[in-house]
Chain A
Amino acid sequence: MTDPLLACEGVSKAFGAVQALYRVDFEVRAGEVMALVGDNGAGKSTLVKCVAGIYPMDEGRVRVEGRPVTVHHPRDAARLGIEVVYQDLALADNLDVTANMFLGRERTRQGFVLDESSMEQAARETLRGLSVTTLGSVRQRVAGLSGGQRQAVAVAKSVMWNSKLLILDEPTAALGVVQTRQVLDLVRRLADRDLGVVIVSHNLHDVFEVADRITVLRLGQRVALLDRAETTQQDVVHAITAGTLDHVPGMADRG
């Protein structure tokens, strides 16, 4: 079997006295949707931010496609093809879809004049490639889009930069039924295109609909790695609330 797209081993991260992550293993294969679940404070966001280069890890190794790598800065992550879509999506409402998708990486002629038609065309093709058909025009201002459309734009923005691994933080948290459906379909299509997709979610219904495997965190530790096909929501809930910890928080065990 080939190396997983992303493999983290023994990732630990402490904020002062709080051990946010303790020797967490986490892996994502190309073409799979990995769900990252856990209660509030279980360490989901911390793990994502470590992978994305926002927080430095205290210890732990990261390999991308088998190669050991170090991620100290979001730029490093982007270079490795790791993109994160945060819950707030980071879109500028006053700009249109195309401008948002190319924000900070605009195509230019002579180095400073925007090449609008080339960007518009690429934005259109990327969205079409992801079968995002609900957008009227790529020249629409983002402020006028629904939550699902915004999510689609944010995802398309990340995908456009040749990313291999896409991490979606609570992609369906603020969405209605139809839009949740659209986003989950989009997530599935991303995985079908051989991207690795991580979705961080509270919603087990969504997780069971789209994920291939499920990593459960509890109190900063991985308490379960489950195959969706062989598990039930009950098992996952049990792991989230009462998963067995290798290490009891508060005990001075670092050995």
Chain B
Amino acid sequence: MTIDPRTAPDVDAADVVGPEETLPPAIPAGFEATPETLGGYLRRWWQGVRAGELGSLPIIVGLVVIAIVFGTLDDTFYVERNFTNLLLQMAAMSTIAIGVVFVLLIGEIDLSVAYVSAVGGVTMTLLLRPDGSNWPWWAAIGFGLLVTTLIGLVQALVITKAGVPSFVVTLAGLLIWNGVVLILTTQYSTSGTIRIQDDTVVGIANDFLSDAWGWAVAVGGVAAYALTQLQTARSRRARGLDSKPAIVIFLQVAGLAVVTGAAVWYANRDRGIPSVTLLVLILFVFWSFVASRTRFGRHVYAVGGNAEAARRAGINVDRVRITVFMIAGFMAGLGGIILASRLRSVATNTGGGDLLLNVIAAAVIGGTSLFGGRGRVVSALLGALVIASIANGMGLLNLATGTKFVITGLVLLAAVLVDSLSTRRRAARGVM
């Protein structure tokens, strides 16, 4: 998807509706592009933070705290092997949470994602059974994703056409799909566990990139980021709009390069970057693009911000809602497949436990508002990183399950408190 900023502007020049043609001479207005300096940029950012526009700041602070706490409490938290484990542990959670972010953005909730993900994993696993249908891996995965996407569609149709709140519909879905998982797993296995014997599927969450590929991905990713930033800045400057100062772009690219480089170097000292991490990054880039750069994404935010305004603007609100629930179903299915691959099996308890709470908590901790219209896809990854780090650290400390739940719950509460306090602060300052 390459966009050439040099040719694009001319395309729309003719479409510019120009009431200004019949105007009195231009009046000096406050919209002149001003060249930005690093100082000005930082000042604006700090003003935003003080007004409650926190962005990813709380979560970065949180990650630092987690790193220090577990780093001091346990010697193995910083071992290379644990780092790659962490990347594996957060993969399925981030994938499902990306779908949850979309649902939260339109101001709805999907409580069924965890068991829908299990339906995806179980469907795929059953189709793969060598003594059963023995489908090829791609067909089994495709069918699993189709099933979960259709589940999203059906639930969305009930929500939009019958006007039942999504909370209730997906709560019913939670039970229904839990039941379906139990029925399927017990019917096809006496032990309640079905193993996956397809190497490709098992490889999804158990293979690692070679050292060289890890570096190639890191370099490619940073270069692509730098190029998009530069292109955006150039196209904005060409139109006389204010743009990020070059020094800020440079620092952001350099920062990304340092973080990515450190991650690859560290992971390569163990088994390398997991392949599934690359998959998650691709999903992240794709869905971020959808949310922030496409017309559909804009409509998602509009529906979450003011559904009535969206409707009057001619946006088909129901269609946006249905599509979003289908995205949630699709991403849940993908997450379920990753989870099944990682465990090399599905069982009666697949999709249960704290998976649902973790994926919703991940989206919220990452900074996506529960009230709709605010949030970014990256919050799914950041939140999943936080949750996985806590779970991982507590696992190393051998804490009891009860203690783990209490601590995870407190972290979620803290995240929601930060969200609502900063919302209140924004409202008080009139910046939202």
Binding site for B on A (CB under 8 A): 74-75, 88, 90-95, 99-100, 103-109, 112-115, 117-118, 120-122, 124-129, 131-138, 141, 143-146, 159-162, 192-194
Contact A92 B306 (CB under 8 A): yes
Knowing A90-B309, A106-B298 are in contact, say whether A121-B239 is a contact too (CB < 8 A): yes
- List 6 extra interface pairs beyond A118-B12, A134-B30, CB under 8 A: A92-B305, A104-B299, A106-B295, A121-B241, A133-B30, A141-B431
Q: How far is the CB of A129 from chain B (nearest CB, A)?
A: 4
Shortest CB-to-CB span from B327 to chain A, Å, is 15
Q: Which residues of B contact A138 (CB under 8 A)?
A: 31
Which residues of B have CB within 8 Å of A103?
Answer: 298, 302, 309-310, 313, 315
What are 29 of the A-B contact pairs (CB < 8 Å)? A90-B309, A90-B312, A92-B310, A92-B373, A93-B305, A94-B306, A99-B298, A100-B309, A103-B302, A105-B314, A106-B298, A109-B8, A112-B294, A114-B293, A114-B297, A114-B298, A115-B8, A118-B12, A121-B239, A122-B17, A124-B29, A124-B31, A128-B20, A128-B26, A132-B29, A138-B31, A141-B431, A146-B430, A160-B19
Contact present for A95 and B305 (CB under 8 Å): yes
Q: Are B294 and A113 in contact (CB under 8 A)?
A: yes
**Interface: B235 (CB within 8 A):** yes
In the bound assembly, the distance between CA atoms of A125 and B306 in angstroms comes to 26
- Name which residue of chain B comes closest to A90, CB basis: B309
Given A91-B306, A95-B305, check contact A144 B430 (CB 8 Å): yes
The secondary structure that dominates the A interface is: loop
Q: Is B432 an interface residue (CB 8 A)?
A: yes
CB-contact partner of A90 in B308, B426, B432, under 8 A:
B308
Which residues of chain B are near A121, meaning CB under 8 Å?
A: 239-241
Contact B431 A105 (CB under 8 A): no
Q: Which of B15, B239, B293, B432 contacts A107 (CB 8 A)?
A: B15
B406 within 8 A of A: no
Taking the closest CB of chain A, its distance from the CB of B296, in whole angstroms, is 7
Chain B 12-34 near chain A by CB (<8 Å), digits 1 or 0: 10011111101110111111000
Residue contact B313 to A108, C-beta cutoff 8 Å: no
- Are the C-beta atoms of A118 and B239 separated by less than 8 Å? yes
B308 & A94 in contact (Cβ 8 Å cutoff): no
Chain B residues contacting A122 (CB-CB under 8 Å) are 16-17
Residue pair B298, A128 in contact (C-beta under 8 Å): no
List B contacts of A108 (CB < 8 A). 294-295
Instruction: Enumerate chain A residues within 8 angstroms of B195, measured Cβ to Cβ.
Output: none
| A129 CA / B23 CA spacing, docked (Å) | 7
A38 to chain B, nearest CB (A): 25
Which residues of A sit under 8 angstroms from B305, Cβ to Cβ?
Answer: 92-95
Q: Is B304 an interface residue (CB 8 A)?
A: yes
User: Bound complex: CA of A118 vs CA of B13, how far in Å?
Assistant: 8
Known: A92-B306, A118-B12, A133-B29. A113 touches B301 (CB 8 A): no
Q: Would you call B313 and A90 a contact (CB within 8 A)?
A: yes
Which of chain B's residues have a CB closer than 8 A to the CB of A127?
29, 31
A194: min CB distance to chain B, Å: 7
User: Do B31 and A128 touch (CB < 8 A)?
Assistant: yes
Find out whether the CB atom of B432 lies under 8 angstroms from the CB atom of A144. Answer: yes
A192-B16 Cα distance, complex, nearest whole Å: 21
Give the shortest distance, in Å, between A242 (CB) and chain B (any CB): 37
Q: Are A160 and B12 in contact (CB under 8 A)?
A: no
Closest to A190 in B: B19
Which residues from 1 to 59 on chain B have a C-beta closer than 8 Å to any C-beta of chain A? 1, 3, 5, 8-9, 11-12, 15-20, 22-24, 26-31
Please, how many angstroms separate the alpha-carbon atoms of A161 and B313 in the complex? 12
Query: Are B431 and A143 in contact, with the CB atoms below 8 A?
Result: yes
Q: Which A residues are CB-close (under 8 A) to B293?
A: 113-114
In the complex the two chains form, is B432's CB within 8 Å of A93's CB? yes
Say how far A113's CB is from chain B's closest CB, in angstroms. 6
Q: Are A194 and B22 in contact (CB under 8 A)?
A: yes
- Bound-state Cα–Cα, A128 to B373, Å: 28
